[in-house]
């Protein structure tokens, strides 16, 4: 059975390059896609201010009218004690959600630190994550989302955006059979595969805070029987471009991502 997931990130209400037109485009495009799940990987706001959070909560209501939405905070959301508003208006900062079909476990982590751009998961959250993954049945597709990068991403400039404890986290993901890791942060879309896990970074869907030749975009993931397709959607034009595909095998009780093919992200 086909499952469609939209990963959107770095909306940045309050940012001077935020575009209402891009936001409206994204909303319309997502509505037309009619996905099963929407995952937002942080930086809903720019400075963590209440008025930015109010705008984010309005967008969230609009997205929730389409389907279920799972959201984690980013470094910008933690500015100016903004996580108080996150908890009141958006939801929990770390969570385990089982989707309505029962086939997906979505685990959210808070990688933000107050008023700094660096990210980490920290020992307590790591222990919590392990115990939650232990309880998750093997047949479920395990998706973990947090804001900062797990792995280095090309075209992000000086590399300082990886979690301070990414190695420890990577170990847990591999040991516990996590299938997908979804991140945002530097507004550069990317897909890597490591062991049997796909790590997917989303660009910024709604701003022109863009590096190099990237464009406003978000990710579109289709999980079909035996196949996974990763597409990049240009928010400006709606153009959808394939960036990777994987084949999936259900081995006994376990769900495994096996062979894969990446398309170049540098081509037009």
Measuring CA to CA, which residue among 44, 201, 182, 52 is closest to residue 104?
182
> Does the footprint of Fe ion cover residue 119 (CB under 5 A)?
no
Stretches 71-79, 92-100, 102-110, 247-255: which one binds Fe ion (CB under 5 A)?
Answer: 71-79
d(CA 171, CA 5): 25
Q: Between 146 and 255, whose beta carbon lies closer to Fe ion? A: 146
Task: Order across the sheet with 217-224: list the strands.
Answer: 68-71, 37-40, 3-8, 217-224, 227-234, 240-251, 254-262
- Figure out which of the listed residues 14, 35, 48, 74 binds Fe ion, where binding follows CB under 5 A: 74
Q: Taking the CA of residue 33 as centre, how many other CA atoms within 13 Å lie in the half-sphere pointing to its CB?
A: 28
- Phi then psi for residue 103, to 5 deg, are -95, -15
Q: Between 10 and 52, whose beta carbon lies closer to Fe ion? A: 10
> Does the footprint of Fe ion cover residue 48 (CB under 5 A)?
no
In angstroms, the Cα distances linking 97 to 5, 25, 236 are 15, 28, 31
* Min dist. Cβ of residue 114 to Fe ion (A): 14
* Number of amino acids touching Fe ion (CB under 5 A): 5
* Min dist. Cβ of residue 187 to Fe ion (A): 6
Kindly identify the residues of this chain, within the stretch 3-42, that bind Fe ion according to CB under 5 A: 10
> Does the footprint of Fe ion cover residue 43 (CB under 5 A)?
yes
Q: Between 78 and 243, whose beta carbon lies closer to Fe ion? A: 78
In angstroms, the Cα distances linking 147 to 7, 21, 26, 43, 161 are 12, 24, 20, 8, 10
Q: Between 74 and 82, whose beta carbon lies closer to Fe ion? A: 74
Task: Order across the sheet with 141-145: list the strands.
Answer: 95-98, 104-108, 141-145, 180-183, 197-201, 190-194
CB 245 within 8 A of CB 226: no
Stretches 2-10, 78-86, 106-114, 135-143: which one binds Fe ion (CB under 5 A)?
Answer: 2-10
* Min dist. Cβ of residue 128 to Fe ion (A): 22
User: Cβ of 255: how many Cβ atoms within 10 Å?
Assistant: 19
- Figure out which of the listed residues 7, 45, 46, 75 binds Fe ion, where binding follows CB under 5 A: 75
Contact pattern for Fe ion over residues 157 through 196, marking x by CB under 5 A: ----------------------------x-----------
d(CA 25, CA 150): 29
* Min dist. Cβ of residue 12 to Fe ion (A): 6
Binding-site ranges for Fe ion (CB under 5 A) = 10, 43, 74-75, 185
């Amino acid at each position: 059975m086909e499952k469609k997931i939209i990963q959107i990130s770095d909306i940045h209400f309050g940012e001077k390059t935020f575009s209402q037109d891009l936001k409206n485009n994204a909303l319309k495009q997502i509505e037309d896609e009619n996905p099963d799940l929407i995952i937002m990987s942080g930086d809903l706001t720019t400075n963590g201010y209440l008025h930015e959070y109010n705008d984010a909560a309005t967008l969230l209501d609009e997205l929730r009218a389409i389907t279920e939405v799972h959201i984690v905070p980013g470094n910008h959301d933690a500015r100016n004690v903004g996580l108080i508003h996150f908890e009141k208006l958006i939801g929990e900062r770390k969570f385990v959600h089982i989707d309505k079909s029962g086939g997906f476990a979505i685990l959210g982590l808070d990688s933000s630190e107050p008023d700094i751009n660096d990210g980490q998961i920290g020992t307590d959250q790591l222990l919590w994550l392990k115990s939650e993954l232990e309880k998750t049945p093997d047949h479920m597709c395990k998706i973990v989302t947090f804001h900062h990068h797990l792995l280095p991403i090309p075209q992000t400039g000086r590399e300082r955006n990886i979690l301070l404890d990414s190695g420890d986290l990577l170990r847990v993901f591999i040991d516990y059979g996590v299938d997908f890791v979804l991140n945002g942060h530097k507004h550069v879309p990317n897909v890597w595969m490591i062991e049997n896990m796909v790590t997917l970074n989303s660009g910024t869907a709604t701003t022109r805070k863009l590096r190099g030749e990237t464009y406003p975009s978000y990710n579109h993931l289709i999980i079909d029987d035996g196949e996974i397709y990763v597409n990049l959607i240009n928010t400006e034009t709606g153009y959808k471009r394939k960036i990777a595909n994987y084949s999936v095998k259900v081995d006994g009780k376990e769900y495994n991502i096996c062979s894969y093919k990446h398309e170049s992200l540098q081509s037009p």
